[in-house]
Amino acid sequence: MCELLEIEYLDIEENKENEEIIKKVLNQCYKTENLNPEYLYVNIILTNPENIRKYNKEYRNIDSETDVLSFPMFEKGELNNFKSCCKEVLGDIIISLERVEQQAKEYGHSFQRELAYMVVHGFYHLMGYDHINEDDKKVMRTKEENILKALKIER
């Protein structure tokens, strides 16, 4: 099988268990959305609150930390039947693992579940989905929950 992701660690330690969760979630995302890892991959950067705050300030002009940032390379709809002569990046997802841990405690579920949610949430932003208005939010949330349900990752 072709690699569907690259994982980078920025000022935090590598963790193979986290990598397995991420890979499992992205496999399901690709399967559900009929994406071919032969043509597209996702770059994921796992980091800390300080670094994600820097990215948020630099690229979104918001000077605060957040849990996940997504930087898509394509517009919504451009990926229908996507084929390329070489492998392209679908986009970058940056995740603050400290925020994942805090939010897991806050929401009363496991770190693994919260990490899986951050990955699927970031993935759907790469696919062009958003949650700014209520109708779009419903569509995006339904897609996210369907992925997690298919993987039996419950709250």
Q: Which domains are delineated in the chain? A: 5-150 (3.40.390.30)
pLDDT given for residue 130 in this prediction: 92
Percent of the chain with pLDDT over 70: 99
Decide: 66 and 54 in contact? Cβ < 8 Å: no
Check pLDDT > 90 for residue 154: no
What local confidence, expressed as pLDDT, does residue 43 receive?
A: 98
pLDDT beyond 70 at 66 = yes
Sign of the dihedral defined by the CA atoms of residues 74, 78, 83, 84, in that order: negative
pLDDT-derived band of residue 79, with 50, 70 and 90 as boundaries? Answer: confident
pLDDT at 32: 96
Has residue 92 got a pLDDT over 70? Answer: yes
Is residue 73's pLDDT more than 90? yes
Using CA atoms, how far apart are residues 5 and 27, in angstroms rounded to an integer?
10
Stretch 115-137: mean pLDDT: 95
User: pLDDT per residue over 11-61, tens digit each?
Assistant: 999 999 999 999 999 999 999 999 989 899 999 999 999 999 999 999 999
H/E stretch holding 138: helix 134-150
Instruction: Give burial (CB, 10 Å; 0-12/13-18/19+) of 28.
Output: buried
Model-wide pTM > 0.85: yes
Asked if pLDDT for residue 2 goes beyond 70, the answer is no
How many CA atoms, within 13 angstroms, populate the side-chain half-sphere of residue 112? 14
More confident residue, 150 or 80: 150
pLDDT of residue 93: 98
